[in-house]
Structure 1
Amino acid sequence: MNQDDPPFTFRAVQNFVAAVEASSVTRAAHVLGTSPSSVSQQLASLEAALGARLIERSARQFRLTRAGNLFLEPAKALLDDVGAAKVRLALADQTPPLSLRIASLEELDATVTAPWLLNLSKRFPKASLSLISGASHENHDALSSRSVDMTLAVDTVAKVDWVERHPILRDPFIRVAAIGTEPGDGSAPMIRYEPNLPIGRQIEAHLRRSGQAPARGFAFSTNQALFAMTAELNGWAITTALAYLGTPLAQELVTPHPLDTPRFSRQLELHARAGALGELPTMIARDLRSCISQRILPKAAERLGDLGADLAIIQNT
């Protein structure tokens, strides 16, 4: 390469992949925490270094050129290889600061998130750790767009080759009802999760398989709102043991009951881009299982009794 040629930089590759996965320079800038003009400059620099137009972009269109399609997979592999190399350095104590971005679930915020992250910071004192909480499908989208490095999600997320999965917890579904009421009362309304959420779809599919069709009414996207309305309307709902144990004030709003249908459960997993972080996801999944065992499982025995028997750690195989 001639020393007068434009430089090929890792940062430019990051901007290219972010722009492609976001299908927008503006959205890529938001993911990367920079400005659209900076992303555009990095894309222009990369195209100059490669001597090829990678993206056709205008106010009306954003699409990869043939060269862009050819370069995309090697670009992703480069980002993942560098990420894995940084992790190997971190594990060998020979690292510049490591940045980890994790998307979690609201069910863990009140009980597990803080001690889990503190354990990580002790293991990697130079690491910068950030965490967002969201619905499982939103976390999957964040992993796909590379706005996070790892996510906690449930097994209803579609299995794809580019994701490595580390099982964490089997989380059984239970019924809850307003304190002092019984969920079997035919006049009591059922309060639902939003049907566009994975948990909502899983519950509705189970009800259909069981031949039940409770009248439709209120539907919510958060555990706290679901439990509050259940209490307010003297109603009942189907949720999970983890949601009940991990939601502040849940005990003051609803009481747990067994299902009147066959038992079913969901599986909590840690997801990462396959091979991008080396052994780090395995280590972090192990730490998470330990925190859940210490912080949540004892509460299950105390607050759920026999209902919590199916709440169980899943060891990686």
Structure 2
Amino acid sequence: MTKGLSLRAMEIFVTVVEKGSMSEASKHLQMTQSSISQHISNQEELFSSVLFDRSVRPLSPTPAGQTYYEHALQVLDQVSLMWSTLQKINVVPLNQIRIAVIDTLADTLVPELTYKIGNLLPKGNIKISSGQTDDHREALLNRKTDLIITMDPMDDVDNMERYPLYKEPFVLVLPGDYSYDSNSFEKLLIELPFIRYSPKLPISRLIEQHLRRLRLTIPHRYELDTTRAILPMVTAGHGWALTTPTGLLDSRHFLDKVKIIPVPFTKFHRTISLVARQKELGNIPQELSELCKAHIKNVGMPQISDKLQWAINEIEFF
């Protein structure tokens, strides 16, 4: 009966139903649309049933598809419960913890987290890595890490614990010797290129969405992966950028060579959260969330307060 049926295929089917299209499911699962389509076709062949009404948008399940969807949800919930239960057995007593920290906070948080967790697990194994939000999301979903500090609260995923840490404003960063006043933004767009974050990054997607809302069409020229790569370009006079106070904390040795001002249009923010699988680490996620907030506020922010006090005042710690 189970020949040809896989949990992965079932998960793909459920995602297509919930996203309303194969293209949106492919983005969410980071798979090609053709691969998604093939999985759906294989399941339709397996069950000898048409699972989707392809004549309507958004894509809707047929009666057979709806029945499959309801049963698939139950199966996947039971698998998640089974996995969670087995993981709890494996971590009692807890002897390993794996944490992934968003790149811009790695220098600030990794030493403090290492010290704190070292005290919590005096004989345990501690692995802390840095990197990008989307990579951390997949690592948490695939159980390759236990806890992430991220831009993505993973609100679309069940059975997660979420602890918002803080919300911070975006700021405009200019070369230090660039002449700018409050009415110079249109002039800036003509004279210097916008240095973007790579479009694969959530921070880039957030910035671009806001610019589209403002109907600002800015030509593409430079795209870089990190604030540490963007700031040298700005200091050299090659362009301007949008980033955040904690992004600048990560590159604070450049602050004397740049000009930082409020964005000259509608303000916008990003939120950083701590996310872990539900009920697997006891009180550790909540304890670490409080530690992170206190450390960023009391240790991190004072390092840039002389240049950015006005922006720091706008940070909301949860």
In structure 2, what is the Cα distance between the partners aligned to 1:198 and 1:119? Answer: 28
Q: How does 1:281-300 map to 2 (within 5 A)?
A: 281-300=285-304
Is 1:211 aligned to residue 215 of structure 2? yes
Contact in 2 for aligned 1:155/1:266 (Cα 8 Å): no
In structure 2, what is the Cα distance between the partners aligned to 1:255 and 1:133? Answer: 28
Partner of 2:172: 175
In structure 2, what is the Cα distance between the partners aligned to 1:229 and 1:294? Answer: 30
Partner of 1:152: 149
Partner of 1:113: 110
1:190 to 164, 188, 194: 194
- Distance apart, 1:301 and its partner CA: 2.7
Alpha-carbon spacing, 1:83–1:182, altered in 2? closer, same or farther (3 Å): farther
Q: Secondary structure at the match of 2:134?
A: helix
In structure 2, what is the Cα distance between the partners aligned to 1:208 and 1:241? Answer: 23
Alpha-carbon spacing, 1:156–1:107, altered in 2? closer, same or farther (3 Å): same
Q: How does 1:1-317 map to 2 (within 5 A)?
A: 73-84=77-88, 89=92, 95=93, 98-155=95-152, 157-182=154-179, 184=185, 185=188, 186-247=190-251, 249-314=253-318
Contact in 2 for aligned 1:84/1:278 (Cα 8 Å): no
Contact in 2 for aligned 1:110/1:247 (Cα 8 Å): no
Partner of 2:68: none
- Distance apart, 1:124 and its partner CA: 2.2
Q: Cα deviations across residues 161-187 of structure 1 (Å, max 9, x unaligned)?
A: 232211011121111111211463341
Amino acid of the residue matched to residue 208 of structure 1?
R
In structure 2, what is the Cα distance between the partners aligned to 1:142 and 1:306? Answer: 36
In structure 2, what is the Cα distance between the partners aligned to 1:78 and 1:210? Answer: 47
- Distance apart, 1:75 and its partner CA: 4.4
Alpha-carbon spacing, 1:187–1:238, altered in 2? closer, same or farther (3 Å): same
- Distance apart, 1:159 and its partner CA: 2.8
Alpha-carbon spacing, 1:245–1:86, altered in 2? closer, same or farther (3 Å): same
Partner of 1:52: none
In structure 2, what is the Cα distance between the partners aligned to 1:72 and 1:266? Answer: 32
Q: Cα deviations across residues 7-45 of structure 1 (Å, max 9, x unaligned)?
A: xxxxxxxxx999x99xxxxxxxxxxxxxxxxxxxxxxxx
Q: Secondary structure at the match of 1:272?
A: strand
Q: Which deviates more, 256-265 or 211-220?
A: 211-220
Amino acid of the residue matched to residue 303 of structure 1?
K
Alpha-carbon spacing, 1:128–1:146, altered in 2? closer, same or farther (3 Å): same
Q: Secondary structure at the match of 2:314?
A: coil
- Distance apart, 1:128 and its partner CA: 1.2
Q: Secondary structure at the match of 1:230?
A: helix
Report how many residues are paired.
Answer: 252
In structure 1, what is the Cα distance between the partners aligned to 2:237 and 2:142? Answer: 40
Alpha-carbon spacing, 1:149–1:17, altered in 2? closer, same or farther (3 Å): farther
Partner of 1:38: none
- Distance apart, 1:155 and its partner CA: 4.0
- Distance apart, 1:211 and its partner CA: 2.7
Contact in 2 for aligned 1:165/1:271 (Cα 8 Å): yes
- Distance apart, 1:271 and its partner CA: 0.8
Amino acid of the residue matched to residue 292 of structure 1?
I
In structure 1, what is the Cα distance between the partners aligned to 2:159 and 2:102? Answer: 21
Alpha-carbon spacing, 1:267–1:248, altered in 2? closer, same or farther (3 Å): same
Q: Which deviates more, 228-237 or 259-268?
A: 228-237
Q: Secondary structure at the match of 1:111?
A: helix
Amino acid of the residue matched to residue 124 of structure 1?
L
Contact in 2 for aligned 1:151/1:270 (Cα 8 Å): yes
- Distance apart, 1:300 and its partner CA: 4.3
Q: Which deviates more, 98-107 or 289-298?
A: 289-298
Q: CA RMSD in A?
A: 3.1
Alpha-carbon spacing, 1:301–1:233, altered in 2? closer, same or farther (3 Å): closer
Scaled by the length of structure 2, the TM-score of the pair is: 0.70
Q: Secondary structure at the match of 1:270?
A: strand
Identity value in percent? 25
In structure 1, what is the Cα distance between the partners aligned to 2:7 and 2:302? Answer: 44
Alpha-carbon spacing, 1:259–1:193, altered in 2? closer, same or farther (3 Å): same
Alpha-carbon spacing, 1:254–1:194, altered in 2? closer, same or farther (3 Å): same
5+ long unaligned stretches in structure 1: 1-15, 22-60, 90-94
